Structure 1
Amino acid sequence: MHILLTRPQDDIPALKHKLVERGFTVSACPMLDIHILPVDAVDAQTIKKLGAAHAYLFTSANGVRAASRHGLNVDSECSVFAVGPATADACKAAGYDVIYEAGGDVRSLVDRIKKAGMPKELGSLVHISGRDQAGNLVGQLCDAGYDATSVVLYRAETIPALPKDITTQLASGEIDAALFYSSRTAAHFVELTAQADIKLSITAYCLSDAVAEILRQAEVSELADIKVAATTTEDSMLALLGDHH
């Protein structure tokens, strides 16, 4: 099976390695380009928010990489919460010590913060985020009585068009499947394939039903199938694929 990866570039190598080990052929076409904000572009108010943090909240590995680029202190007494296993792994790789891991989506992250017994009066919970956010993490935490805020340290820009080699592989039916980890990525893939007038015959593997729903609503009838992971984790996504030896 030939699989197309649509994740940001920095997330591709580890995922590709796992799939190649299982016997799959892999091509990559990141739908989003990640741009971490320059350190000197961060204003005083943002620096103040980071300094007042009682906990850092990460909903993607991109946030962890941005935090590292901006020199967030891994030795501080801040608690660290990760939305799921892949983000938790990125936190560990960045040097964070005690990490609370949620189940892979914003709702489970809010629940994990509540279960951790975070004192609401000690300081703010700071979500290290991108410019475009999904799930309204800060809003849910504020509704629950926490002092929560968001600090934008990166932006994710959609690519303007499919590369020629990927267009050829999709149009010829060489690619059998694609993995989609976010609704935004799935929506942009649909847009680009329509732009290139490609009649798809692939199976879409989706991290969540919300991602799958984007493909269903787009009426991409040429999709051979849409499969959804049992839980919002990469392991669950890979379990859908099995091995291809």
Structure 2
Amino acid sequence: MHILLTRPIDDCIEMIEKFKSLGHDVSHLALLNIEKVNHENFNYDSYDALIFSSSNSIKFLDIKNINKDIKCFSVGSATERKIRALGFQNVIPAEGSVNSLIEIIQNNFDTSDGKLLYISGQTIAYELDKDLKNKGYNIDRLINYKTSHNDFNDINFIKELKKKIPNIVYIYSENSAKSFLKFINNSGLKDDWMDTNLMCMGEKASIILNEIKWKKIFLFNPGEEEFLLYKI
């Protein structure tokens, strides 16, 4: 199969190699630029647990000022591995969705246990911090990265894509879906996806791309990418 991956190359190089080892043809199109948001002298000591719903928030984490024994909640196992690779020991992973992340926090951190810090990007699909505040938690949100849409001007890439439209496309966020829709329209590819399976992380992303005719649309959680290959 021909698979199109759309995350920044640092976030999907392992998956590219994995899919190629399984005999698949893999193309890569980074839909978003990821930029760090700096916070000088931020006091992490004021918090008793950290929450990560994105691997990008880990990538731009200023780890030198954080106690590695602090409790950390991650959205899934892939995010957990990245946190542990930075030296953090007390990491509790959820099963890949925001709802499961909230559930795992409630099961392992009482409202009386202290203060939470939710580390995220500027654009989020779900206001996790507000939800937890409504449940009685003391929580702040720290934005440590922002995203912008890529400008697609690689004519050769578009020509090659037109010759062989992917069988599968993975889209990881609402923002990525907007960027991919822009790419499709600007590249004159709007009517070329009827034999393509669209894999979206979240319903909001799939809704944005509903105006394109796909073979099928699947929703998935982080870490399920390979599993989805066997569902089509």
Give the TM-score taking structure 2 as reference length.
Answer: 0.89
CA drift at 1:122: 4.0
| 1:102 positional shift | 0.9
Report the AA paired with residue 191 of structure 1: K
TM-fit CA distance, 1:113: 0.4
Higher helix proportion (structure 1 or 2): 1
Structure 2 counterparts to residues 31-180 of structure 1, below 5 A: 31-37=31-37, 41-43=38-40, 47-48=42-43, 50-67=44-61, 69=62, 71-73=64-66, 75=68, 77-116=69-108, 118-161=109-152, 163-180=154-171
Letter in 2 for 1:81: F
Q: Deviations over 1:121-176 (max 9, x none)?
A: 34321011111122101001100100011111111111022532331133223433
91-100 or 160-169, which deviates more: 160-169
Check whether the contact 1:162–1:192 (CA below 8 A) recurs between aligned residues: no
The 1:72/1:224 distance shift into structure 2, 3 A limit, reads farther
1:193 counterpart residue number: 184
Q: How much identity, in percent, do the aligned residues show?
A: 25
Q: How far did 1:184 drift?
A: 1.6
Whichever residue aligns with residue 226 of structure 2, its letter is L
* Residues 180 and 207 in structure 1, CA contact (< 8 A), matched pair in contact too: yes
Q: Deviations over 1:76-122 (max 9, x none)?
A: x3200001122112112222112111121222111110011x13234
Equivalent residue of 1:179, what SS?
A: strand
Aligned residues: 229
1:233 aligns with 222
1:10 corresponds in structure 2 to 10
Q: 5+ unaligned residues in a row in structure 1: which ranges? A: none
Q: 2 CA distance for matches of 1:36 and 1:57?
A: 18
Instruction: Give 3-state SS (helix, strand or coil) of 1:133's partner.
Output: coil
What SS does the aligned partner of 1:57 have? Answer: strand
TM-score by length of 1: 0.85
- Which region of structure 1 is more displaced relative to structure 2, 174-183 or 133-142? 174-183
Code of the aligned partner of 2:137: Y
Quote the Cα distance in structure 2 between the aligned partners of 1:43 and 1:173.
47
List alignment gaps of at least 5 residues for structure 2.
none
Given residue 161 of structure 1, which amino acid in structure 2 is its aligned partner?
Answer: F
CA distance in 2, matches of 1:59, 1:228: 17
Q: For the structure 1 residues 165 and 123, does the alpha-carbon distance in structure 2 shift closer, same or farther, using more than 3 Å as the test?
A: farther
Classify 1:23/1:242 alpha carbon distance in 2 versus 1 (closer, same or farther; 3 Å): farther
